[in-house]
Chains A and B, each alone.
Chain A
Amino acid sequence: MTTDHAADIDHAADIDRHVRIYITVFVALMALTIVTVAISRFHLPVPMAITVAMLVATIKGSLVACYFMHLISEKKLIYAVLVLTGAFFLALLALPVLTVHDGYWIH
């Protein structure tokens, strides 16, 4: 067996392992979607409902990002880009919160 051939087999085994993970993640995403809808049927108080819904959505989003988008094994530069994006994204989401104190800084 040549070294290249051995590497090819390793590569094929690696892809097979990835495919098994994709299927597991797929099942988890389906289940979590059903969970999201089921929880909404309980008509929880709004703050609690938002917290739970966003928690489940974050878990689902993380699964997609980590496994389908391969972020779990990405290069440092991609992580750096995402950290920077995340910081700006959070700042953007925080802007409406600052409006609660509208005029506070002026007076």
Chain B
Amino acid sequence: MDIPYTVEVRRDTGLTNGKIGIWLFLASEVMLFGALFASYILIRTGAETWPRGDTILNVPLATFNTLVLISSSVTMVMSWASLKRGRFGTFRLYMGTTILLGCVFLLVKYFEYSHKFESGLYPSTNNFLAIYFTLTGLHMLHVFGGMVVNAYFWGPGSKLWKTNPEWFANRVEHAGLFWHFVDLVWIFLFPTLYLL
């Protein structure tokens, strides 16, 4: 039995089921990160002193990572636009670049984390580092999860293009919405943790 409303929109919502599903999921993600941001505010406002992020963290590396993640968002949306133009080869190029940029982001975070651990800075060291590792760690998990989904659509999942190109384009759009959300979260994490 076919999954309903993957390509044609429902008459009541004007949307495909996939689209409404991913937005509801993102709504739950907003609450997840929102809870952690609220914790950050609570801990910071309750602390007698709070270090400036740039005295502990590596701002140039984080700035580079911000630019990497923004670039990956563009390549992600371009991969979807390529499918809408019917250019599968270009889609794979852009999607491949998105995955590669995700790898660069995680690699830079690995170096950042390694440096902190080598310097004896752990989540248990102080509240600032506890919230830093929690927020960036959760964000990294999301980047990794997004990369797994993107890799699926770049590889085995792309077979759908041959049988149902419109459905495939919709699935890539939904994966893209998650990826952009991950970018959006980082846009707020970067100044909050590194610059303030």
Contacts and interface: CB of A to CB of B under 8 A. Distances in A.
Interface of A: 11-12, 15, 18-19, 22-23, 25-26, 29-30, 33, 36-37, 40, 46, 49-50, 53-54, 56-57, 60-61, 64-65, 68-69, 75-78, 81-82, 84-85, 88-89, 92-93, 95-96, 99
A53 B196 contact: yes
A57 B70 CA distance: 13
Interface size, B (range): 35 or more
A57 to B, nearest CB: 5
Contacts, number: 118
Contacts of A26: 70-71, 74
A64 B81 contact: no
Given A19-B78, A60-B187, A61-B184, A77 B13 contact: yes
A33 B67 CA distance: 8
Contacts of A81: 20, 23-24, 27
29 contacts: A19-B81, A22-B78, A37-B59, A40-B196, A46-B196, A50-B196, A53-B192, A54-B188, A60-B187, A64-B187, A65-B180, A68-B73, A68-B77, A75-B15, A77-B15, A78-B20, A81-B23, A81-B27, A85-B27, A88-B31, A88-B34, A92-B31, A92-B37, A92-B38, A93-B34, A93-B38, A95-B38, A96-B45, A99-B42
Contact of A40 (B15, B70, B191): B191
